[in-house]
Structure 1
Amino acid sequence: MAASAQTAWPSYMGDLPRAVSESSVAAELPPQAAALAQQATAPAGLAQWGGIWSGWACRTAGCDIKVAVRDLSAEGATVTYVGASPLQTVVDEAAGRFENNELHVPLKTGAELVLRLRKDGDMELGIWRPQAQLLSVGLLSRRPPAYARRVEWQDTPFTENGKPVRLEMVVHRPEGDGPFPTLVMNHGSTGMGNRPEWFGLTWTSPEVSAFFVARGWQVIYPQRRGRGHSEGLYDEGFETDRSRYSCQAALSLPGADRALADIQVVMAHIRQRGDVDPRRVVIGGVSRGGILATAYAGLHPQEVVGAINFVGGWIGALCPDAAKVNGELFTRGAAFPGPTLWLYGEADPYYPVAHSRANFKVFEAAGGKGVFEVLMPPKGLDGHSTYTVQRLWGASVDAYLASIR
């Protein structure tokens, strides 16, 4: 069966933020569809559905979405849907039907687009295959985005094949020129490292950005060498044949050192920026980015006032050398004199709570200070994705930011 009002939406839908799409390809509505939607009238009680909606869908907001709704009646509406990403652009138009306050739209692919309104006027979307298999979720709005987005390039001292290497940085910021307190948020890995097509995907977190920007913070996402659109070779601890990430400490730890070198270049630039308050720079990250943030804070304690580690680790707990590799990197963070915040989720397939608690004890034994918290992911998400749900960690992060002022 297709998605319907009886099909349960994911429990985390209410946590999706109004954000900016991270797609490098913009969704463009056909001009006629856009014009008709802008001019559309609607019966009483349905006007809130009509018009042009913009937003995002897909993992890490990787798809740019535009939807035009017109010809509204009690039965349904005409919907034009455009979804764009570097992988594909989909343009579709169909008659949708209203069913229990949802608008159901059949797509040419055989999937069904389902739209529903939030109380704040924004619009949630879900795309289902037959048999109610959820493909994607996202959020659309007719309001301005929650933050401004821009992409910058950072020169580095690195060269490869005789050419200088530049790093991509995505900046999410509030209105104004600053200087802003700034979170430098570092990305993780790509699963097992056996999907080279994923290396070229730029990573950001709209959930983290919406939270921090609402509090007046700027968030900067550096993409390390070979990741996203950054230049150079992605080389963060692979097997010798580059088939996947290595579990061996001798191969894995040099990859972490390479990543830390990239972060050092970025941090030197960030602290000199006119839009950054150098007295209020926090380093953070997810997964590999979380352990790198902690290690960097200990190696360069004068550069940051805090470190936030979301589900951090360098190699998964199933690797024989996991305790050695993760323990060594977290021990580097122990020299940071201030408190750190460690946020982990139950049912994390890479870094189970027991493994991560053991890493925290190693960190504390080396002199590190911090708070370790365990979060319960909502149904439909595993523990490694808890960073995408603000309500799980928002109060803890607020308290932590207050403690390091």
Structure 2
Amino acid sequence: MVAGDGEHLNLAGRVCRPAGDGPSRVVVINHGSPVSASARPRMELTECDAEATQWFTRRGYVVVYALRRGYGDSDGDWAERYGHCSDPDFVRAGLSSARDIGAIVRYALALPYARHDGAVVIGQSAGGWGTIAYASQAPKDVAAFVVMAGGRGGHADGEANENCQPGRLVQAAGRFGATARLPMLWIYALNDSFFDPSLASAMHDAFTRAGGNAQFIQPPPFGDDGHHLFFGDGGPAVWGAPVAAYLARMGATP
């Protein structure tokens, strides 16, 4: 689907188009990473009839999904490792994700039915962390960033609400905030089992203290685990209104 940074890799992708001929604004939605390494090769692309996808296509957006290197049918080795849980490098992991996200955005904006005046970039979990890292690079071809439950290192040792090194994750958020320029929207449900309310708040505080700009929303508990709010059944009923308001403020309408 796209060529990576300095490496020619084919990434498995899916484009979901709205009614009409366009041109339409592109929304690039970036996936998370399964806890089990053995699940990465089996990952599949989100369908065009998924509830989250249709929230955007029914409003006139083109939605683009792609599996980053090392996931599913995409080429390349998995590149998003942060090292041992006792000494994680969350900055490196985020920037590795951002490399592929940037390539996907460039591909999406070149589609003949896409508007070329700025993509909307959304990421969930590890994809959300990569989205924060990508925002730190201040890309000129992005109109808005939405982070849904973004982070890394959650479920350490298989335990809910345990992170490898929460202090390192907070520090990394500050690193990214120092160079991010575009206002963002961050959404973390109160019952997120990967990034609990105190950790999510600390990440946001570090990001904004360093110079980043992000609206921070913590919706009420969602289902059994709010980490799955974005793609979960009924999720758009929770996040749809704040996302729509943010996109309108950013001038990122279809």
Residues 256 and 269 of structure 1: CA distance in aligned 2, closer, same or farther (over 3 Å): same
* Secondary structure in structure 2 of the residue aligned to 1:391: helix
For normalisation by structure 2, the TM-score amounts to 0.85
Which ranges in structure 1 are unaligned for 5 or more consecutive residues?
Answer: 1-152, 240-245
Deviations, residues 210-243 of structure 1 (Å, cap 9, x unaligned): 111111011111211011210111232165xxxx
Q: Distance in 2 between matches of 1:226 and 1:168?
A: 10
Match of 1:219 among 59, 63, 76: 63
* Partner of residue 336, structure 1: 180
* Partner of residue 157, structure 2: none
Q: 1:350 is aligned with what amino acid?
A: F
Which ranges in structure 2 are unaligned for 5 or more consecutive residues?
Answer: 155-160
* Partner of residue 385, structure 1: 228
Task: Tell me how large the CA RMSD over aligned residues is.
Answer: 2.2
Q: Distance in 1 between matches of 2:14 and 2:170?
A: 27
How far 1:178 moved relative to its partner? 2.1
Residues 199 and 158 of structure 1: CA distance in aligned 2, closer, same or farther (over 3 Å): farther
How far 1:333 moved relative to its partner? 4.2
* Secondary structure in structure 1 of the residue aligned to 2:15: strand
Q: Distance in 1 between matches of 2:124 and 2:4?
A: 23
| 2:4 equivalent to 1:156 | yes
Q: Distance in 1 between matches of 2:5 and 2:136?
A: 23
| 2:142 equivalent to 1:299 | no
Aligned-residue sequence identity (percent) comes to: 29
Who wins on radius of gyration, i.e. which is larger?
1
Matched-pair contact (CA < 8 Å) for 1:299–1:333: no
Q: Distance in 1 between matches of 2:203 and 2:82?
A: 22
* Partner of residue 261, structure 1: 99
Query: Which structure 1 residue ranges, 4+ long, deviate > 6 Å from structure 2?
Result: none
Residues 297 and 235 of structure 1: CA distance in aligned 2, closer, same or farther (over 3 Å): closer
Match of 2:150 among 312, 335, 344: 312
* Secondary structure in structure 2 of the residue aligned to 1:174: coil
Q: For this pair of structures, how many residues does the alignment match?
A: 240
Deviations, residues 318-377 of structure 1 (Å, cap 9, x unaligned): 234233135314532453333211111112111001100000000110111121111123
Residues 334 and 180 of structure 1: CA distance in aligned 2, closer, same or farther (over 3 Å): farther
* Secondary structure in structure 1 of the residue aligned to 2:14: strand
Normalized per residue, the structure richer in helix is 2
Matched-pair contact (CA < 8 Å) for 1:315–1:326: no
Q: 1:400 is aligned with what amino acid?
A: Y
Q: 1:156 is aligned with what amino acid?
A: G
Q: 1:365 is aligned with what amino acid?
A: R
Normalized per residue, the structure richer in strand is 1
Q: 1:228 is aligned with what amino acid?
A: G
Q: Distance in 1 between matches of 2:86 and 2:104?
A: 28
Match of 1:402 among 241, 245, 248: 248
Q: 2:145 is aligned with what amino acid?
A: A
Residues 309 and 157 of structure 1: CA distance in aligned 2, closer, same or farther (over 3 Å): closer
Q: Distance in 1 between matches of 2:148 and 2:115?
A: 23
* Secondary structure in structure 2 of the residue aligned to 1:372: strand
Q: 1:384 is aligned with what amino acid?
A: H
Q: Distance in 2 between matches of 1:334 and 1:283?
A: 19
Residues 323 and 199 of structure 1: CA distance in aligned 2, closer, same or farther (over 3 Å): farther
Matched-pair contact (CA < 8 Å) for 2:177–2:211: no
Q: How does 1:2-401 map to 2 (within 5 A)?
A: 153-156=1-4, 164-191=8-35, 193-194=36-37, 196-204=38-46, 206-237=50-81, 246-250=84-88, 252-316=90-154, 318-329=162-173, 331-378=175-222, 380-387=223-230, 388=232, 389-401=235-247
* Secondary structure in structure 2 of the residue aligned to 1:354: helix
